[in-house]
Amino acid sequence: MKFDLIIIGSGVMGSFHAYHALNFGKKVLIIDRNSKANQASVRNFGQAVTSGLSLNEWHSYGRRSSELYLDLEKKAGLPVRQNGSFYIANTPGELAVLEELQQRFLAVDYACELWDKSTVLKHFPAIQESYALGALVFKQEMSIEPEFMVNRLREFMVEQMGLQQEMNCLIQQVKSSSDRVEVTSNTGRKFEAEHLLICNGMELQQLYPELFVASDLEVCRLQMISLKNPGVQLPGNILTGLSIRRYESFRECEAWKNLDSHGLSSEYDEKGIHILFKQRPDGSIILGDSHDYLNAEDAHNFSFLHDVHTDSLMLQEAKRIAKFDRWEPEYTWSGYYSQCKNNDLFEANPEPRVNVITGIGGKGMTTTAGLAEARIRSMYSLASS
């Protein structure tokens, strides 16, 4: 069977491109090496935080993605909750950044509220009085259950939209000509389409490795912790002082240049630690994260060891922020994403009819639904809505 579009990769990047192509009436085949998506798109926090993005096209992709998520929650039962994002400041410098950012967002009609200390503590009795100075709140933002969302979306597309899928299928070869493109799996199976889209995430060794080695792509590893239900309620996406120092939207503020010290040991900066909490519907909490990096050619050479010291630094800072009845890690994991050192995304057209799109970094859950819509429209020369 010949398809209009073959997509390699069933993470959020591949799945949302499939969704939009199907909506435009295309015959689509999605292929993944695993029986279901199990890379970055299921290992993340599930925080859809447009508030953390630069105020450029990424802000628009974030806003559009939220609309799409809400629509898909109704249509496909995607596990998303519109329960807000809360950035809690710990130092006067962080609070000054929040005050400036509020004005920047209000200027583009993106609703947010600044809460003083007592309002934060009233809404979040689980936050330490000694930590919170104030918070910037985006009530419209949402959280996603990452363990389920992207695979649920794929199932919906297979059941209701005619998506074809080949899972457990590693693609190792691409051959393109003027009128078609053919891909071949490691077991010799062949599939053919008019176009191929490679949404390979952090897998930079299988297809066009020379393209990736010559690029500024790198792979980031993040350590994550799951805590058993600590007996408190922490709705929405909770982000804290170290995130205010890290995310793009905050870095663009004048006040960010005059930030005071966070007062923590230099290890927090060296290990790229910032503390985020996301409570799952069953009460357990995703807590993270840390960041370390390897260049594209080394992307499979991360140590297999889980660094317990990094976990203890995260837990130590988390305890300074939140007062839980119990702190019981139930498991830990590492997640990996690719990102460019100098760009927001990696896009290439290595052969006729073949496009690669990866390297979206830490913003894929927030922006991909909207980004993919724009890319599918331009791929098929459809006017923007």
Q: Which residues bind ligand FAD (CB under 6 A)?
A: 8-14, 31-34, 37, 39-41, 43-47, 170-171, 199-203, 206-207, 222, 224, 289, 335-337, 358, 360-366
List 292's β-bridge partners, or say none.
221
Considering the complex, what minimum distance in angstroms separates the CB of residue 179 from ligand FAD? 23
Q: Distance between CA atoms of 83 and 144, rounded to whole angstroms? A: 10
CA angle 304, 309, 314 (to 5 degrees): 110
Q: Distance between CA atoms of 344 and 359, rounded to whole angstroms? A: 7
Smaller CB distance to ligand FAD: residue 103 or 186?
186
By DSSP bridging, strand 85-89 and strand 237-239 are: parallel
Considering the complex, what minimum distance in angstroms separates the CB of residue 381 from ligand FAD? 24
Considering the complex, what minimum distance in angstroms separates the CB of residue 72 from ligand FAD? 16
Smaller CB distance to ligand FAD: residue 90 or 143?
143
80: its two tokens: 């998303």
Considering the complex, what minimum distance in angstroms separates the CB of residue 167 from ligand FAD? 9
Smaller CB distance to ligand FAD: residue 206 or 332?
206
CA angle 117, 122, 125 (to 5 degrees): 100
Smaller CB distance to ligand FAD: residue 32 or 344?
32
Q: How far is CA 154 from the centre of its chain?
A: 17
List 218's β-bridge partners, or say none.
295, 339
Considering the complex, what minimum distance in angstroms separates the CB of residue 146 from ligand FAD? 7
Cis amide linkage into residue 289, ω under 30° from 0: yes
Smaller CB distance to ligand FAD: residue 8 or 126?
8
Considering the complex, what minimum distance in angstroms separates the CB of residue 270 from ligand FAD? 18
Smaller CB distance to ligand FAD: residue 40 or 89?
40
Nearest-CB residue to ligand FAD? 364
CA angle 303, 169, 156 (to 5 degrees): 105
